[in-house]
Structure 1
Amino acid sequence: MKAIILSGGKGTRLRPLTYTGAKQLVPVANKPILWYGIEDLVAAGIIDIGIIISPETGPEVQAKTGNGEQFGANISYILQEEPAGLAHAVKVAQPFLKDSPFIMYLGDNLVQSDLSIFLNEFKSQQLDALTLLCSVPNPTAFGVAKVDEKGRVLQLVEKPKKPPSNLALVGVYLFNRTVHEAIANIQPSARGELEITDAIQYLIDQQRKVEARQIQGWWLDTGKKDDLLEANRVILDTCLTASTYGDVDNQSQVIGRVQIGQNTRVINSTIRGPVVIGENCHIENCFIGPYSSIADGATLINADLEHSVLLQGATVTGVHQRIVDSLIGQRAHIKAAPRRPKALRFMIGDDSQIELT
């Protein structure tokens, strides 16, 4: 069994951050989103993984993720020259996949369920395709499946105005080699892409064994700022363990589940978890509130922060208003002078500089 993880695309919904980096490398709880998918696949026993990359962000993905050794995997990189659809990504990955059955995993998704459960069922039932589904309150925003009482997929509809169900396609699919035949027999959609839903529908129309299973636990799509902040909140809530490797002075308070990395200094500050702070950070005269993630090398002086994500090397100084619900890019600088009464919300790209006066 092999796997492909899609890590291409332009990440337009996370701009300006994704003007300068891959959306799949934006951290959730101080770990790139992409790495959660790799770890899930390895935990399910799949170590032969191909990562689909784009010309724009592929070198960054490759440099940061490496050959897979740190995950116990063998990672190959597969270039998709243009974002021409999920089925197109499978098509360009065919030389890597050959005739092997495989999992396709969208690299900006986070799934709590144990993949090995679905992998075992896919194998034991000798299915042609198995799609994972999740109940959602707004099915018109997703690809939706119509499924019978035995779990067989009857129809797939992309962002329907009148959804046949509330079961959205999660972005994790299991296929055998018959999907390559299906992709060879579909045409680009109205938006000019080869859609994986059309390939699955072809398999259904050919009476192939296509089934679906509903995941247990959460599914998080991190394509937009608010979604990413929610993913950060959920991961901190469910996965964070407390540990302190840095230096916390006697004037500081650390309350709840807080993780502090090596060579980080906390001076005269209050940190209320769940919070994760990376290595080589400087926190002074600050309040760091729940559901905040602060990456390596960040500096916060005379600042209040809550429910926010700071990327590597970001600096916030002298901001007396509380910063909430914010996503602040790598090496970005925020500084302010006078005190103001309102909370502040930011989404700031890498290397930005903001001065509040």
Structure 2
Amino acid sequence: MRGVLLAGGTGSRMWPVTRAVSKQLMPVYDKPMIFYPLSTLVTAGVREILIITRPDEQPLFRRLLGDGGQWGLDLRYAVQERPDGIAHALLLAADFLAGGPAVLILGDNIIHSAGLDRQLAELTEVDGGLVFGLPVADPRPYGVLDFDECGAVRDIVEKPLVPPSRYAVPGLYVYGADVVSIAAELTPSARGELEITDVNREYLRRGRLEVRLLGRRTAWLDTGRFGDLMKAAEYVRVIEERHGVKVGCVEEAAWRAGLLDDAAMRRLAVPLRASGYGDYLLRLLDGERPARPAAVG
């Protein structure tokens, strides 16, 4: 299974800051924002990942992430010229996916949940679509699940003024081999974009959409606005300082997945000691042996 990480868009909700730098390169406490969704993909067993950026920002992502070989990953890049919608990213990834299944994740979403990590790591194949639902205080900015009287999902409504439920669909989607053909048949929405909700609704119409509801132990942070970015940074800080574990650490995720051996981990850690990041990686080596789940690919 291959991954698609969407790190394009104009970032207009965070102007003027994002006129100069991509939102996904901004720090969320002690890591660039893109580290969080990238580590989620690594935990899901994804090794080959296409990162979709704006044309002018791709060199910055390449400088930060390289080809991923330092983590045992295969990172590739594609350009989205205009913000044509999340589903448009699937069309850009058509050659990369080569008719295979895909995990699509948004570069400004942070999802922190041991339960979700286990579900993703256990994925072997998907015939159709798989999305998640999570209750939030205000679901209006998202795709929202609409349930029937028996509790089954009957529709997904994009950015409703009156939400049919509190369950929003976070920016993490798993699709079967036909997702590119489905995206290719979409009609742009009123705002001129190919909506990912329409992909999910088509799978639902065909009876091939699985929806998994996530509970209260899952934290989903959308960092698309200044206040949300500050809240996400504070959340990560509290977790890391209180529990002594890092959130969104790509090196740790790769090490636990068996992509890095101890020697490679140590080589990555030593240059990062000045910030304390490297010391954390060294403590993992000196005090804990990783549980290595079977890779899913």
| TM-score bin, normalised by smaller chain | 0.7 to 0.9
2:170 pairs with 1:165: no
Indicate the residue corresponding to 2:231 in structure 1.
230
CA distance in structure 1 between the partners assigned to 2:62 and 2:151 by the alignment: 38
CA distance in structure 1 between the partners assigned to 2:48 and 2:277 by the alignment: 30
Amino acid at match of 1:208: R
| Kept after mapping to 2: 8 A contact 1:144/1:157 | yes
CA distance in structure 2 between the partners assigned to 1:72 and 1:46 by the alignment: 11
RMSD: 2.5
CA distance in structure 1 between the partners assigned to 2:5 and 2:51 by the alignment: 5
Number of matched residues? 248
Residue 79 (structure 1) shift: 1.3
| Kept after mapping to 1: 8 A contact 2:146/2:153 | yes
CA distance in structure 2 between the partners assigned to 1:26 and 1:149 by the alignment: 43
Residue 141 (structure 1) shift: 2.4
CA distance in structure 1 between the partners assigned to 2:70 and 2:9 by the alignment: 25
| Kept after mapping to 2: 8 A contact 1:130/1:175 | yes
Amino acid at match of 2:224: G
Could you say which structure has the larger radius of gyration? 1
Indicate the residue corresponding to 2:263 in structure 1.
none
2:218 pairs with 1:201: no
Indicate the residue corresponding to 1:92 in structure 2.
92
Equivalent pairs: percent with the same residue?
Answer: 36
Amino acid at match of 2:143: G
Which stretch shifts more, 129-138 or 110-119?
Answer: 110-119
Give the TM-score of the pair, scaled to structure 2. Answer: 0.76
Indicate the residue corresponding to 2:259 in structure 1.
none
More helix by share: 2
Residue 262 (structure 1) shift: 5.6
Indicate the residue corresponding to 1:34 in structure 2.
34
Residue 147 (structure 1) shift: 4.1
Indicate the residue corresponding to 2:269 in structure 1.
none
Alignment of 1:12-91 (within 5 A): 12-91=12-91
Q: 1:85 to 1:108 in 2, by over 3 A?
A: same
Please state whether the residue corresponding to 1:146 is helix, strand or coil: strand
Please state whether the residue corresponding to 1:139 is helix, strand or coil: coil
| Kept after mapping to 2: 8 A contact 1:131/1:169 | yes
Please state whether the residue corresponding to 1:99 is helix, strand or coil: coil
Q: Bigger relative contact order, structure 1 or 2, given CA contacts below 8 A and separation 6+?
A: 2
Amino acid at match of 2:157: V
Indicate the residue corresponding to 2:120 in structure 1.
119
| Kept after mapping to 1: 8 A contact 2:134/2:167 | yes
Residue 277 (structure 1) shift: 7.9
Give the TM-score of the pair, scaled to structure 1. Answer: 0.64
CA distance in structure 2 between the partners assigned to 1:24 and 1:4 by the alignment: 14
Q: Deviations over 1:13-65 (max 9, x none)?
A: 12222111110010112210101111222123211111111113222112211
Q: Deviations over 1:240-275 (max 9, x none)?
A: 349xxxxxxxxxxxxxxxxxx866xxxxxxxxxxxx
| Kept after mapping to 2: 8 A contact 1:101/1:175 | yes
Please state whether the residue corresponding to 1:140 is helix, strand or coil: coil
CA distance in structure 1 between the partners assigned to 2:62 and 2:150 by the alignment: 41
